[in-house]
Structures are given as C-alpha cells and as structure tokens.
Amino acid sequence: MGKQRVLSGIQPTGDYHLGNYLGAIRNWVEGQNEYENYLFVADLHAITVPHEPKQLASDTYTLVALYLACGLDLTHSTIFVQSHVSAHSELTWLLNCITPLNWLQDMIQFKEKAVKQGENVSVGLLDYPVLMTSDILLYQADKVPVGEDQKQHLELTRDIAARFNHLFAKDQPVLKLPDPLIRKEGARVMSLADGTRKMSKSDPSELSRINLLDTPEQIQYKIKRCKTDPIRGLTFDDPERPECNNLLTLYTLLSGKTKEEVAVECQDMGWGQFKPLLTETTINALKPIQEKYQAITDDKTYIESVLRDGREKAQAIANQTLSQVKAALGYLAPV
C-alpha cells in the first residue's frame, strides 16, 4: 500500500507567527517521512479580505522560503502556489453549486471576520470554506494537519464531499473524505497580550505575536512586555491563568522538554526568572530557521525551480480529480 497523502496550506498575509509554526508547519515537517505531502501557499484565500496587491507576490515568496527553511524536504513534500493550479478555482465553482448557502453562513470564522468588515464583506469571504474544500478534495488527501481554528472548515469539507458522492457518485465515490490532524499541544497558541484570544496575523498589535522572522531584540521586547499575572509559581491548565498556561506551553514546545519536566522546573519560578528563560529558548529555537531562511531567500532561481516542479506535480493530480468531478456532473468532455 502507498503512503497516505497529506495536504495543508497557509495564507500569504505576512507576519508568519509561532501559531502557524507550532500549529501547522512543524507538524508537517515532523510527519513528512510518513506521508506523501502537498503543501501550498493559499494565495487565492488571501484576497477574501482587503489586501495590498504590492505585497501579495513577496509575501508568497517569503512563505515558500520559510516552508523550506523550517525543514520541508522535497523528497517527501511538494510545495506549490495555489493560484498556479487553476483547478482550485474551477472545482470551487462546481462545488458552490451543490453547497447549501446556510452551511456557509454558519461558519464561525465567517461570522467573526464579517462583523469586522461591516458592509464590505465580499462573496469571497463567505465562499472561502468551499475554496478550502476544493484545495483538499482535489488532492484526495487522507490527512489535513492544521491548528484547532480550522476544525470547522474540515467538517464542512467532509460534508461537501459526502454530499457530492451521494448526489453524483453513489456507486463509486469520486471524492475522498479527509481526516483532520490536529495535535493536542500547539493547536491553539494564544496571543501574548491576552491568553484568551488566539495568536493571529490579523491582530493589529505586533506585541500580540512572535513572528518567525523576528530579531532576537524584538523577541526579547515582546516577551518582556507580554501579559502575565501577579501569582508566584507557574502552573499549566489553571483556567484562571490563561497567559501562564500559554507561556508554559510555548516553553515546552520550543525547548523540546515534556510537560511534566516543565511543570517541575517552573513550579517555584516567578515571571522575572521565567521570562528570560522563555526568551532565550525562543531565540535559540528560531535561530536555525532564520539562518536557513537567509540562505534560501536570495536564491531566486532555486525557489522558482521548486515552484515549477511543485506546480507540475500538483497539476497532474488536481486535474485528474477535476476531470472525474466533471464527468460525474455530466459535462461533455473536451476532444
């Protein structure tokens, strides 16, 4: 039996942070030998909210370089840009026509983002989960490694796939139902400014997140300023201390220690002792990624060749699924 297939992606909207790394990229890298991986830059998703055209291409390029710098290995992983494979847009249209509107109106992320935009909410924002569904189903993915915030989108993906198979491919299912792969630790990294909100690119405060390309000085400054509490002795899982739980979790994941080891190490610490420790650990964990990023990012020819290869491999699979979907829907095949 061949390897199971993994698919996942990140939006190129600048400021890639520890949440993206610990909730997604790091898990892709750790599991990559086990799977056949398709990892992409979700640039079509990036325009569902107002965006800056001058930034889109460079944010996309940076994210590809970061994927490589974080350790994605091209012998196991195919890296590509979503907009380079037109099947994503085409399948979205086809699936739009079988997706009930109220399934999309119920999406938590839509409701949250729509509130922020008032009257300017685009159809694209509402339709975003169908695009994400297409991303996944095109590759017949078995597993989708993501952070906790994407769980509802994956449930919708399964619902749409099942509905399609039921309506148009009863005898022989065309679309595979994927399973989410959400790790317990790191699936929900919280903001440094408020331990009850998730760390996010769209938070207007830079102090709320640590970015993968932050300098040691920036990291030190952000950790120094991050929200804590007045209690001495640091503990996990106290609902009254969300910041404490978040910072200890970050320390655990970035140091490679176990939760039990960290619980013992930090049980008598005050913040004055813990913050420098977290700062040093974060700087050291990000250093190899940043060094590799610097080496890769200037090599435009290499990045272009990675994306050319990626596009070809991705297109081959995506176009095959698209043809099967069109055939099931009854379209006349081109000659």
Residues lying near ligand TYM in the complex (CB under 6 A): 7-11, 19-20, 23-24, 42, 45, 132, 135-136, 144, 146-147, 149-150, 187-189, 198-200
Smallest gap from Cβ 331 to ligand TYM, in A, equals: 25
Cα(175)–Cα(87) distance, integer angstroms: 15
Annotation marks residue 201 as catalytic: yes
Closest CA to 60 of 126, 11, 125, 4: 11
Distance CA 125, CA 237 (A): 35
From residue 216, alpha-carbon distances to 65, 204, 282 in Å are: 20, 21, 9
Q: Is residue 198 annotated as part of the catalytic site, yes or no?
A: yes
200 is in an annotated binding site: yes
| Closest separation in Å from C-beta 65 to ligand TYM | 16
Nearer of residues 205 and 273 to ligand TYM, judged by Cβ: 205
Supply the minimum distance, in Å, between the C-beta of residue 200 and ligand TYM: 6
- Report which of 202, 214, 186 is spatially closest to residue 66, judged by C-alpha positions: 214
Of residues 43, 73, 93, 75, the one with CA closest to residue 325 = 93
Minimum distance from residue 276 beta carbon to ligand TYM (Å): 24
Annotated ligand binding at 262? The verdict is no
**With the C-alpha atoms ordered 239, 243, 248, 253, is the resulting torsion angle positive or negative?**
positive
Is 142 annotated for ligand binding?
no
- Nearer Cβ to ligand TYM (14/270): 14
Report in angstroms how near the CB of residue 152 gets to ligand TYM at its nearest: 11
Question: Does the annotation place 11 within a ligand binding site?
Answer: yes
Nearest CB to ligand TYM, comparing residues 269 and 315: 315
Largest CA distance in the chain: 73
Q: Has 211 been labeled as part of a binding site?
A: no
Closest to 66 measured CA to CA, from 267, 183, 212, 226: 212
Determine the residue with CB nearest ligand TYM: 23
**Residue 8 annotated as lining a ligand binding site:** no
Residue (173 or 180) nearer to ligand TYM, CB: 180
CA 141 to centroid of chain Cα atoms: 15
List the strands of the sheet with 179-181, edge to edge: 77-81, 36-41, 5-10, 143-145, 179-181
Catalytic residue among 143, 198, 222, 275: 198
149 is in an annotated binding site: yes
Of the listed 201, 227, 292, 326, which one is catalytic?
A: 201
Helices assigned H by DSSP within the chain: 18-20, 26-31, 53-69, 87-96, 101-105, 108-117, 123-138, 151-168, 216-225, 242-255, 259-266, 271-297, 300-329
Give residue for tokens 């420790």.
277
Is 246 annotated as a binding-site member? Answer: no
* 126/269 with CB nearer ligand TYM: 126
**19 or 195: CB nearest ligand TYM:** 19
CA 111 – CA 174 distance, rounded (Å) = 31
Q: How far is the CB of 246 from ligand TYM (least distance, A)?
A: 10
Q: Clarify whether 113 is annotated catalytic.
A: yes
Which residues define the annotated binding site?
11-13, 19-20, 135, 147-149, 189, 198-202
Which residues are the active-site residues? 113, 198, 201
Which residues define the annotated binding site for ATP?
11-13, 19-20, 147-149, 189, 198-202
